[in-house]
Amino acid sequence: QKCLALIKKTKFLNAYITVSEEVALRQAEESEERYKKGHSLGELDGIPVAVKDNFSTSGIETTCASNMLKGYIPPYNATVVQKLLDQGALLMGKTNLDEFAMGSGSTDGIFGPVKNPWSYSKQYREKRKQKPHGETEDSNWLITGGSSGGSAAAVSAFTCFAALGSDTGGSTRNPAAHCGVVGLKPSYGLVSRHGLIPLVNSMDVPGILTRCVDDAAVVLGVLAGHDCRDSTTVQDPVKPLTLPNLTDVSKLCIGIPKEYHVPELSSEVQSLWSKAAKLFESEGAKVIEVSLPHTRYSIVCYHVLCTSEVASNMARFDGLEYGHRCDINVSTEAMYAATRREGFNDVVRGRILSGNFFLLKENYENYFVRAQKVRRLIANDFVNVFNSGVDVLLTPTTLSEAVPYVEFIKEDNRTRSAQDDIFTQAVNMAGLPAVSVPMALSNQGLPIGLQFIGRAFCDQQLLTIAKWFE
Ligand code: GLN
């Protein structure tokens, strides 16, 4: 009930699209019953959680923040949602996002942008007042980052203890960094994607947002595992339920990718990154510079692969099977076209067009196949570094702290999106686990996160190191 009260109090953040109050209260009663009767309790019994609105929830509207799916009520739960509920979690609601998880601001959904809770922190407000811009306080509100901004804001504002996000190119880690929470992208294949409405099937992973690394590990323990409904899940996953307390980091080797020193990186993030590396060094860890030479192709490569898969994925939204259907019925083709024009925003339509261009018979080899080869080179860069003895990579998560909405929308959103994902996207192309951990507050009083990237399926080791750092 405290969480529900906070959801109401922070409604202006626009973190939730649907609040499932009745469901949560019923689940809470059931949990209390189990407790009173001395029945065995689940791993998450009685714990309020929220779920990004691109995961199917049985009987609860699932919109992807798109007109295309407005009013769509799935008949089943995504595997990860079912697993949370099976362990006694309480579903507080469905969180806001960029339409179909395309974006990195949580500004592009039909329900409007998500506001970063830190915009209202005492420290930030005081700093802003010193600036002679004459704006009203509210026009300075900050974006959450995205696309899982609703989930990050929901955790950050204490309306739930954990939230599901999705991560295709950084969408869990980026908003986690901006909202001062932990954001985990598990190894590809460790957690089922069944019921996660796809963006890029070969890169999508359900993400976990929590307030501390231990909580992320507990939730990962609940979610991980083979699912016969997702053939990309591995048969025998590691199950990190509890993390050991690392006391000695002197045997660790931490890699710092030299290509990640990009000119767009803010000086504050840069200096916190160096500070973190020094901290490891002072505790006896080996900190070395490493090279991921294909980093510079990563954003372009992601773009070709992402839009190609989007073009194919979005074909299912034809006005017949799911969600929206226009009134035009002169021909099937006209109905398809009008439905998709009305249903999708510019970003989604733009990606469908780009993707279909890359997949044209005359372009396929030159773009799609070539991008797949580049993807392999990018993935191999990581393999080489880990084979040379590096345990984890330490990098920034985002280029800077969260920016005010008014500044974010000034630039072309798609260009901005691309720049923001520089540290996160390659990880998805390589299928590796990565976690963003809050490091410190900036001079403006806003959170800055750093990212650890681990070896494939070494999620437990990754989280153990992140916990030490936290
Ligand atoms: N910003 C990236 C994109 O728009 C990543 C999105 C995501 O991880 N869902 O494609």
Query: Which residue from 161, 259, 285, 159 is spatially nearest to 216, judged by alpha carbons?
Result: 161
Of 106, 121, 147, 442, which one is the catalytic site residue? Answer: 147
Any atom of ligand 1 within 6 Å of the Cβ of 147: yes
The pLDDT of residue 170: 98
Cis peptide before 147 (omega within 30 of 0): yes
Arithmetic mean of pLDDT, 150-165: 98
The pLDDT value recorded for residue 157 is: 98
Residue 134 has a pLDDT of: 46
Taking domain 2-247+434-439+453-469, whether its CATH number is 3.40.50.720 is answered by no
Q: Is the CB of 148 under 6 A from ligand 1?
A: no
Q: Once rounded to an integer, what is the mean pLDDT over residues 324-335?
A: 94
pLDDT tens, residue by residue, 438-465: 999 999 999 999 999 999 999 999 999 9
Residue 182 in this model has a pLDDT that exceeds 70:
yes
Residue 223 CB–ligand 1 contact under 6 Å = no
DSSP state, 313?
Answer: H
pLDDT tens, residue by residue, 5-63: 999 999 999 999 999 999 999 999 999 999 999 999 999 999 999 999 999 999 999 99
- Ligand 1, closest atom to CA 199? 9
Q: pLDDT tens for residues 411-439?
A: 665 566 667 799 999 999 999 999 999 99
The pLDDT of residue 419 is 75
- Ligand 1: atom nearest CA of 104 is 1
User: 384: which 2 tokens?
Assistant: 């080489």
Q: How far apart are CA 424 and CA 436, in angstroms?
A: 10
**pLDDT class of 410 with cuts at 50, 70, 90:** confident
199 C-alpha to center of ligand 1: Å? 8
User: Which one from 171, 192, 298, 354 is the annotated catalytic residue?
Assistant: 171
Expressed in angstroms and rounded, the spacing between residue 91 Cα and the centre of ligand 1 is: 25
From residue 99, how far is each of 185, 194, 351, 368 by CA, in Å? 20, 19, 12, 24
Q: Which of 43, 1, 53, 47 is nearest to 22 (CA)?
A: 1
Is residue 141 scored above 70 in pLDDT? yes
Contact 152, 183 (CB under 8 A): yes
Q: Which of 234, 211, 245, 208 is closest to 223 using CA atoms?
A: 208
Distance 71 CA to ligand 1 centre (A): 24
Annotated catalytic, 147?
yes
Is the CB of residue 99 below 6 angstroms from any atom belonging to ligand 1? no
What value does the CA radius of gyration of the chain take, rounded to a whole number of Å? Answer: 21
Average pLDDT over residues 370-399: 98
Confidence of residue 286 (pLDDT cuts 50, 70, 90): very high
Q: What is the ipTM of this complex?
A: 0.98
400 assigned to active site: no
Candidates 197, 139, 147; CA nearest to 172 is 147
The residue with greater pLDDT, 453 or 241, is: 453
Mean pLDDT to the nearest integer, 204-219: 97
How many Cβ atoms from other residues are within 10 Å of residue 249's Cβ?
Answer: 19
Task: Indicate the average pLDDT of the chain.
Answer: 94
pLDDT tens readout for residues 64-100: 999 999 999 999 999 999 999 999 999 999 999 999 9
Of the candidates 349, 343, 345, 354, the residue with the CA atom closest to the CA atom of residue 306: 354
Q: How far is the CA of 4 from the centre of ligand 1 (A)?
A: 29
Distance from Cα 204 to the centre of ligand 1, integer Å:
9
Q: Give the other-Cβ count within 10 Å of 213's Cβ.
A: 22
CB 177 within 8 A of CB 447: yes
> Are the CB atoms for 53 and 96 separated by under 8 Å?
yes
| Ligand 1 pocket check for 170: Cβ under 6 Å | yes
Contact call for residues 85 and 199 (beta carbons, < 8 A): no
Q: Which residue has the tokens 């898969």?
A: 309
Q: 171 Cβ partners below 8 Å, 6+ apart? A: 101, 104, 146, 147, 148, 165, 207
Asked if 162 contacts 168 with a C-beta cutoff of 8 angstroms, the reply is: no
| Tens-digit pLDDT profile for residues 381-393 | 999 999 999 999 9
